[in-house]
Structures are given as C-alpha cells and as structure tokens.
Amino acid sequence: MQSCNNRRPSDFVPLPDVIHLTSEALCNTNFRKEIFTGCHLQATLMCIPPRCDIGAEVHENVDQMLFIVQGQGVVVFGTSHCQPQKRCRVRGGDAIFVPAGTWHNVINTARMPLKLVSVYAPPNHPIGTLQRTKADAEREEN
C-alpha cells in the first residue's frame, strides 16, 4: 500500500466522515467490506456466518482491533497457528486487541452471524476491498 507521502494527486485521499458504525455493521452481510482507509488506519466490517471463522492469520507489521457488535464466539491467540496459547469467549460489546506478529482467529460459535468491526493500523487491505465470502477473501490473498 502506498504511504500518504508518496500518493499522486490522482490517488484516493479520504475525507473526514461520520457514520453510525453499529447500524452499518448490523446491515453488512459481506465477509469483509472496507469502509475507511486513511494514511495510518483502516476500518472494515465483517460478517462471519454461524459456525464459521475468520481463519487463522497473522499480520507481521499491523496492529488490529476487532469490536464485536453482535453475536458470540471464541478468539484464539498464539505465537503460531498450530499452538494457540490463549482462548477467550467474546460477545457483543467486546473488543479484541491483537498486536502485530500475533496469530489469531475469531470463531463464530452461535447460530446467528457474528457482526464485527476490524480496525488495522497501518491499513492492511486495498481501498475498496469487498469480499462477499471467506472463499473470496482466501482467493484474493493467494
């Protein structure tokens, strides 16, 4: 991703905005939908279907915060995807903080979609990212 200092005039430059984040998250049916990308921060909405997960992942140079808007699940953390060292139940209103370099996965344990907001610093996905399903996300990342 280009840094703000290296952007050309034709590159997208975000404008200040206000949205009702909870309403937007509850209405979202996409696996991942980018809603804001600035120079140092990015926000996406996620909808994890019942009994599904985000998938074990690590962001080497990106801190992440996930905020559960609706639903319940389990988050696992660790130094490798094979050996999680911490497992916590999460539900609406909980925030999950993931330092760069930490393997993590969020698993929906309920019968309803898990709705959440994911914030990355610095940005982690291309501007305009819209992945309808986890399979779409996996295809784009490979």
Q: Where are the domains of the chain?
A: 19-141
98-112: buried (b, 16+ CB within 10 Å) or exposed (e) per residue? beeebbbbbbbeeee
Output the pTM of the full model.
0.88
Question: Domain 19-141 falls in which CATH fold?
Answer: Jelly Rolls (2.60.120)
Are the C-beta atoms of residues 1 and 123 closer than 8 Å to each other? yes
Are the C-beta atoms of residues 108 and 73 closer than 8 Å to each other? yes
Tens place of pLDDT per residue across the chain (142 aa): 445 555 544 456 678 889 999 999 999 999 999 999 998 999 999 999 999 999 999 999 999 999 999 999 999 999 887 887 899 999 999 999 999 999 999 999 999 999 999 999 999 999 999 999 999 999 988 7
Q: Whose CA is closest to 114, among 91, 138, 97, 88?
A: 91
